[in-house]
Amino acid sequence: MRFAVKFLGCKVSQADVMLARRQLLEAGHEEVSEADAELHVINTCCITGEAEAKSRQSVRRSLKTAQRVFVGGCAVNLRPRRFAEIDLAVKVFTGTAEEVALAMASKLRQPRGATGACVDVEHDVLVRERARRALGAWSGSRARGFVKVQDGCDCQCAYCIIPTVRGSARSRPAAAVLKEVEHRVAQGQREVVMTGISVGDYRDPVRGLNLGELLLEAAQVPGVERVRLSSVEVIHVTDSLIDALCEEPKICPHLHVPLQSGNDAVLAAMGRHYTAAEYLDTVRALRARIPRVNVTTDVIVGFPNEDRSAFQNTLEVIEITGISRVHTFPYSSRPGTAAEALGDRVPPEEKKRRSQAVRGLAEVRSRHHRAAKLAQTERVLVDKVAETQCSGYSADYTRCYLPAGAAAIGDLLDATVDELHADGLRVTPCAGAPVGHHWAADRQTDPVINGFRTEDPAN
């Protein structure tokens, strides 16, 4: 069967849908563009009410062209019937990402109409047996690969529904993580991104490695050029993690450290486990050890007890820390969370105003960060190629734009920064570029490059 995959939400959601992709490819199905696909596989998100609504909208859009739609992920685990009721062509899969991936492949081996619309893999004995097998790497040829090292969360933030749908924190054995990194390299992926729901909670259940130690070992895998961390809570930016960034040049000097608010009363109401001063101290300590580090963040505006003074505190923390990029989320009450009892006191127009203020400040900080790179040399891993230009990311996660034809997907090259451009930098390849070229870069018709997409461009 011809299929296409897409996801909503975070990088963990992307890693999860890639498990389903791998299972379908191994079962002999063909990946094509969305327009040509008979089956759409969608991994959903429920981090906000809007994300859940967008997940259902994505299913409805897919039904316009696809004969069948398979859905899994957080929003499905939270409210499976809301998706099953959309259309008879929608098949809902609940359970862990590993179980769902196996169940989707198994479903395609059954006659159509053999079961109902909702497949609960917790009660599927065959799938549970197969789920015990170790899952290998997907066979894509993207320049960057996401490796899920951890799942679940124990933080219990007042606004967050994720622990309900993902469960408690649990770590993957380091041996399995490193084996997947090896597979990623073998498939031409020069950068691996370590991801998880609460990745800073990582602790190898066999050897006891912490996150920093895991990153160091991943960097030693032959062929790895870069190891990147997707997101980490400020309480998990430990000396061990900072030591790893200092000691190993392959570990990227970029940390996405969610702030959420710069006001202590709001942080306490959110159930966050730090104060604004502790956040500031941690970022200062990080910059003292790694001056070139790029720090990005998440902010929630309009939390029920956030008044204008509290919001001003958030702007001040963004300014002081020199954060270069902010993902801004207007607060929305989630049924089943502790914050639901607080109501939704901030008017929508005020949330919009605060969101715009954060984005405006973030743009100023971004320009300052990028302007400091003018005339410098950046090493760029190319991940997009178009007729008019190609682009990729520097080690500190700054988007760099190159002239058309300058490189292929998977090339790693040194380039001189010429000027600020769009959300990144306009750069020119240095003499002798690229630094390296992988066989994967030649496979530019692979659907995972030209057809795979996210429903949330902010992630």
Write the CATH number for 427: 2.40.50
CA distances from 328 to 138, 158, 222, 253, 260 (A): 32, 18, 38, 22, 9
What mean pLDDT is reported for the chain?
87
Write the CATH number for 175: 3.30.750.210
SS3 2: strand
Q: Is the pLDDT of residue 334 over 90?
A: no
Choose the final residue of a domain: 252, 275, 301: 252
Most confident of 2-16, 153-167, 296-310: 296-310
Same domain, 193 and 129: no
pLDDT per residue as tens digits for the range 37-54: 999 999 999 988 889 999
Strands 254-256 and 226-229: unpaired
- What is the average per-residue pLDDT within 208-235? 97
Same domain, 331 and 399: no
Q: Which of 92-101, 231-240, 393-402, 425-434 has the lowest mean pLDDT?
A: 425-434
The verdict on residue 244 lying in a domain is yes
User: What pLDDT shows up at residue 435?
Assistant: 56
Q: Which tokens hold the place of 231?
A: 């997101």
Burial tier of 298 (Cβ tally within 10 Å: 0-12, 13-18, 19+):
middle
Same domain, 16 and 127: yes
**What does the chain come to in residues?**
459
- What is the average per-residue pLDDT within 336-342? 93
The verdict on residue 33 lying in a domain is yes
Same domain, 110 and 176: no
DSSP secondary structure letters along 24-73? HHHTT-EE--GGG-SEEEEEE--SSHHHHHHHHHHHHHHTTT-SEEEEEE
Write the CATH number for 38: 3.40.50.12160
Same domain, 269 and 233: no
Choose the final residue of a domain: 372, 403, 420: 372
pLDDT cut 90: percent of the chain above it: 75
Q: Is the pLDDT of residue 418 over 60?
A: yes
Same domain, 176 and 98: no
The verdict on residue 21 lying in a domain is yes
Same domain, 63 and 147: no
Same domain, 126 and 235: no
Contacts of 400 (CB under 8 A, 6+ apart): 378, 380, 391, 392, 393, 394, 415, 417, 424, 425, 426, 427
Structural domain that includes position 361: 256-372
**pTM of the entire structure?**
0.82
Same domain, 185 and 240: yes
Q: Is the pLDDT of residue 365 over 80?
A: yes
The verdict on residue 87 lying in a domain is yes
The verdict on residue 390 lying in a domain is yes
Write the CATH number for 272: 3.30.750.200
First to last CA, the chain: 29
Q: Which of 133-142, 163-172, 180-189 has the lowest mean pLDDT?
A: 133-142
Is the Cβ–Cβ distance between 173 and 204 less than 8 Å?
Answer: yes
Q: How many domains does the chain have?
A: 4
Q: Is the pLDDT of residue 112 over 70?
A: no
Choose the final residue of a domain: 372, 404, 429: 372
Same domain, 129 and 12: yes
pLDDT per residue as tens digits for the range 57-96: 999 999 999 999 999 999 999 999 999 999 999 999 998 8
Same domain, 260 and 245: no
What's the half-sphere exposure (Cβ side, CA atoms, 13 Å) at 127? 23
Q: Is the pLDDT of residue 458 over 50?
A: no
Same domain, 385 and 412: yes
The verdict on residue 459 lying in a domain is no
pLDDT per residue as tens digits for the range 394-407: 999 999 999 999 99
The verdict on residue 102 lying in a domain is yes
